Amino acid sequence: MKKPKTYKILLAGNPNTGKSTLFNILTDRHQHTGNYPGVTVQRTAGTTRLPNGTRIQWIDLPGAYGLHPRSKDEEPVLHEILGSEGPYHGIIVTATPLHLKRNLLLLSQLADLDVPLMLVITMCDELDRKGIRIDTRTLENELGIPVVLFSAKDPDCHGGGTENIIRRLPDMMRSRPKHFFGNYGIDTRAFKLFRQRHPDENPYRLWLIYTEQDKLPPSILLRYPDLPPKDKEKNIVEQRVRYETIRRHADLDRLVKRVLQRDLRQGHDPSTRLDRLLLHRVLGPVIFALVMLLMFQAVFAWAQVPMHLIDAVFGRLADWLHRSLPAGEIRSLLADGIVPGIGGVLIFVPQIAVLFFFIALLEESGYMSRAVVLTDKLLRPFGLSGKSVVPLLSATACAVPAIMGARTIDDRKRRLITMLVTPFVSCSARLPVYALIVAMVVPAKTYAGGLINLQGLVMAGLYALGFAAALGSAWILNKGMHSPYDGYFLLEMPPYRLPYFRNLWTKVWHNVRLFITGAGKYIMAFSVLIWFLANHGGKEFHEGPPPASPAEAAAWRLEHSYLGRAGKLMEPAIRPLGWDWKIGIGVLTSFAARETFVSTMATIYAAGNEEDASLIQRLRTAVHSRTGMPLFTLASGLSLLIFYVLAMQCFSTLAVLRRETGSWLWPSAAFAYMTGLAYVAVWVTYVVVNQLLAVSF
Amino acid sequence: MNLSELQEGERAVVEACGSDIPLKLTEMGLMQGQTVEMIKRAPLGDPLVFRLDGTTVAIDRKTAEGIRVRPLNGSRKGAVQRQKSGV
């Protein structure tokens, strides 16, 4: 057979073994992320081109402890290894010196499948520091596969660069891994029959297909029409799988004792001492609160500098286009549609980058899992897991990556609840809306000598309301969803490590790109759509306004545009809330992305104003189109704010919910529930605030 | 006694695991004869953090209750305290 020019190699390994770090280095930036069919686990692929022209395609499999999946998200590893995504040429398994025995469990299972293998012992810079010696030669002989040392932080130690991995690839292809499973004598009645019917097939492959048949895709099952059902001996099978695991541990224990020498003079594990401090009854929560405070400070204050810069640059650009191009459709499209649209996407990049930098820092340092342990008990009554903290916190940037972040939750019910309530958390897209309306209707009063600011208090209140709505809804969902299987909590807490810069950068870049290509394209497209709807209309619109002053003409044009008509159409529904059709338009357009409310308001009120007033000034002088009273009062402003906290108005969020839950059922339910709740809450707010104001004056 | 009853800093040997403990825990190496050390209870009493075969693992209380252990004598004052209070 002719040698294929592209080799496909899978990377497998336990969580926290530096697998993704190795993947990032091997593939540099040539990565591509997709999804496994049916589930929501990311499948990351990347390529390396060797000097001789050979291409290697690497697949970064999700972290796994073994091949028997025990949650939905662990299934893709088994699927891919059994060939569901097509054939491959070999598997590289990562392991760390400190946890070699446990890391080799997965390798021993793969060895039984007769797959070409290579073992990469990562973090080999830890060997000398921890006084560990590994006899790789003996390990190679015992396993029958190449064993390579690797270090991302110090490629010079023990020759631990990627070139060694590349150099040993031919050895890997030729490797004949030694078997484990055959010695265990594991059998059941049905499995014995199945095995006898396929004498030429690998027995461990058959064992996996038999024991995990309820978790395999049709593409694999169809090849075994004679597969006996395991229902009758379900308990026996479960026992045998556990027995298999225990036997492997025993074998690996003997092996590791032969090849790994440890200097026992090493003192107590420093991570344990740090855990005693960071999980301390009093200090633990205090430190956690400080870390979170720092994160919020960074996202909402430090990111302001680049945000203002982006804002200014795109404002100037639009001005410049207005001045230098001849009036007409093209200028209008560029200066009022496209340029503000691009600016409206990029303005969020600083916040997202800073937030994900912090999340990556927390994950890489090992603190994230401690934060999860600290908060798990608190969140469990709400049907959330300690792991829900990550999505709920990252939702302050954007619900889209946050909902995807819920994948780390093993328990399906908790994961679903987390995903459904995450959109209540105030995301960064709501922030511009909050900022605009708060600045407009809340007086800029300060108390305690300028320390406390009333506008800031209202802002904090909006965030608190979002979190309260999320927790309250989670509590209700938890009561409503009966699940006989109450998920256990099991989390490996990686040792504290100095974060590796490259991984931080990759994570930040990955999420920024996700935002720009994911949510960004909707915002952009919508900006242009809004521009079109506001600048075009039916026949009447094109006949032009009756003779009047320029400002009146502009107002007439807006009212008769497609946008104006849509807003008017929905006015009866929003009149009880104190809003008029212009706000109606703003709320409608927010469905693409909430922050477009601000740009819509800018478009609507730019159309009516020739002078150079700021948006806030223009909005302050706006009057209700029916009553002629000021449009933005405390009552209507607060009602609008509460609407933006509670309502589901984000198409991207619905789309990602659809993808993650596998049907339109949950996104539809979330939309109906959130928007219904918002409408009622807003109406109550408007009526109550108006009554209170009427009493106090 | 079971795993959840260990005092912070106390070590014990696993005697038996309930048949319904997660397979993942077995894969991580929690099995008969293995030594475990209780590191810390979370501030709210649950989950519990253990040292298991060179790894730190957090387990919820209910799961820990399904694992029978024999405390190692003199591994810490916890055992002494328990003897005093007659448990």
Segment (H or E) for B15: strand B11-17
Chain A residues near residue B60 by CB distance under 8 angstroms = 376, 488-490
When computed from its CA atoms, the radius of gyration of chain A, rounded to whole angstroms, is 30
Residue A613: its pLDDT value, please?
58
DSSP states of A74-127: GHHHHHHHTTTT---SEEEEEE-GGGHHHHHHHHHHHHHTT--EEEEE--TTHH
Please tell me if residue A624 touches chain B, with a CB cutoff of 8 Å.
no
Q: Give the pLDDT mean for B36-64.
A: 91
Residue A655: its pLDDT value, please?
76
Of A101, A105, A373, the CB nearest to B49: A373
Of B22, B47, B56, the CB nearest to A376: B47
Structure tokens at A537: 């209309």
Residue A660: its pLDDT value, please?
73
Tell me whether residues A285 and B43 touch, CB distance under 8 A: yes
Structure tokens at A80: 């891919």
| Neighbouring residues of A621: CB distance < 8 A, sequence distance ≥ 6 | none
Hunting for tokens 């504290």 — which residue is that? A496
How far is A132 from A550, CA to CA, in rounded Å?
Answer: 82
| Cβ within 8 Å of A, B 2-61 | 8, 19, 22-29, 31, 39-40, 42-47, 49, 51, 53-60
For the segment A620-639, what is each residue's pLDDT rounded down to a tens digit?
777 777 777 777 888 888 88
Q: How many CB atoms lie within 10 A of CB A304?
A: 12
Tell me whether residues A373 and B24 touch, CB distance under 8 A: no
Q: Give the pLDDT mean for B23-46.
A: 91
Confidence of residue A282 (pLDDT cuts 50, 70, 90): very high
For the segment A537-563, what is each residue's pLDDT rounded down to a tens digit?
877 777 777 766 665 666 677 778 887
pTM passes above 0.80 = no
For the segment A338-383, what is each residue's pLDDT rounded down to a tens digit?
888 888 778 778 877 887 788 788 888 988 889 889 988 888 889 8
Residue B57: its pLDDT value, please?
93
Confidence of residue A618 (pLDDT cuts 50, 70, 90): confident
Confidence of residue A278 (pLDDT cuts 50, 70, 90): very high
Structure tokens at A286: 């205090």
The CA distance from A519 to the nearest CA of chain B, in Å, is: 36
Residue A207: its pLDDT value, please?
96
What is chain A's mean pLDDT, rounded?
Answer: 84
Tell me whether residues B27 and A269 touch, CB distance under 8 A: no
DSSP states of B32-68: TT-EEEEEEE-TTS-SEEEEETTEEEEE-HHHHHTEE
Q: How many CB atoms lie within 10 A of CB A167?
A: 13
